[in-house]
Structure 1
Amino acid sequence: MKLGRLNHIGVATPSIEDSIAHYREVMGATKIHTPFDLEAQGVKVCFVDTPAHSTGSGSSDSGGTQIELIEPLGPDSPLTNFLEKNPLGGQHHVCFEVPDIEDARKEFEELGKRILGPTRIGAHGTPIFFVHPKDMQGMLTEIMETPKEGTHWSN
């Protein structure tokens, strides 16, 4: 398995609205996408763009890693237990890109890594799966197929 691009860091939050205000007012975020419900996964999602790099003149490039704010849609959300243990929210997962999701899944399985659930469509509109934190040095890890031209979610 070759390490792909870090696509995003998932941050669980009890309130996307409050988190948006934090990233805008405290962290200076200027590109915050419109929140949307991902009902199949029981969460509301909002992406915050970070710049790829700063030019030193106050401007920056786009294309950096995103922050994925995730809020439970209800009590049956997979985030409910996380937020019960971490009421303020916090880092939930990291997400790396791979060129082919089925090849990546096969490689992780051959390495004996536990995959949580089936491959499914994630918030970017591309196939994803999660690898158990106990098999990834304590981090819940999302593996995402690199978005193809025209399929990447943006808003």
Structure 2
Amino acid sequence: MITGLNHVAIAVPDLEKAAAPYRALGAQVSAPQDLAEHGVTVVFVTLPNTKIELLAPFGEASPIAGFLEKNPAGGIHHLCLEVEDIAAAAGTVTSLGARLLGDGRPKTGAHGKPVIFVHPKDFQGALVEFEQG
């Protein structure tokens, strides 16, 4: 059901500053993309085997703002796993007792595909995003 690691997300206070070392090391860094529904602005660092998502707050209700209050320098925020079927993945993890965040229904993510998040207390302390491949 899991087909791969899509990305590791790092919350940052300044996208441009955070992206600079990746650019200097020759990685491809995308243009910033505002995701109002998720309360973040993101850029993706594309690597040969995965991506790193750098995310910063967008709007006053951003969940990243709270994360950065606790971690002013930023830090790893979540892991994104690609799955073949997001509904099946959601059903599997909820049948094991995991809680989906929000209303439990997929939203459109940064790649234009359905995504859901699983509560970190139900997934070894890590916030996990599933993205339909």
Aligned length: 131
Structure 2: gaps (5+ residues) = none
2-side partners of 1:19 and 1:12: how far apart? 9
Alignment check: 8 A CA contact 2:2 2:84 kept? no
Give per-residue Cα distances to partners, 1:7-53, cap 9 Å, x unaligned.
0001100111111112223xx143111111111111101000112xx
1:139 aligns with 2:109: no
User: What's the offset of the Cα at 1:109?
Assistant: 1.1
1-side partners of 2:89 and 2:71: how far apart? 31
2-side partners of 1:89 and 1:113: how far apart? 26
Structure 1: gaps (5+ residues) = 52-63, 147-155
Give aligned-pair identity as a percent. Answer: 47
Amino acid at match of 1:65: T
* Corresponding residue SS for 1:70: strand
Alignment check: 8 A CA contact 1:42 1:77 kept? yes
Amino acid at match of 2:78: H
Partner of 1:24: 23
Decide which of 33, 37, 42 is 1:45's aligned counterpart.
42
TM-score normalised according to structure 1 size: 0.81
User: What's the offset of the Cα at 1:4?
Assistant: 2.8
Alignment check: 8 A CA contact 2:9 2:55 kept? yes
Give the number of the structure whose alpha-carbon radius of gyration is greater. Answer: 1
Alignment check: 8 A CA contact 2:36 2:59 kept? no
* Corresponding residue SS for 2:13: coil
Alignment check: 8 A CA contact 1:10 1:94 kept? yes
2-side partners of 1:102 and 1:3: how far apart? 13
Amino acid at match of 1:32: V
Partner of 1:151: none
1-side partners of 2:58 and 2:94: how far apart? 31
Partner of 2:100: 115
User: What's the offset of the Cα at 1:108?
Assistant: 1.1
* Corresponding residue SS for 1:9: strand
Runs of 4+ more than 4 Å apart: none
Partner of 1:86: 71
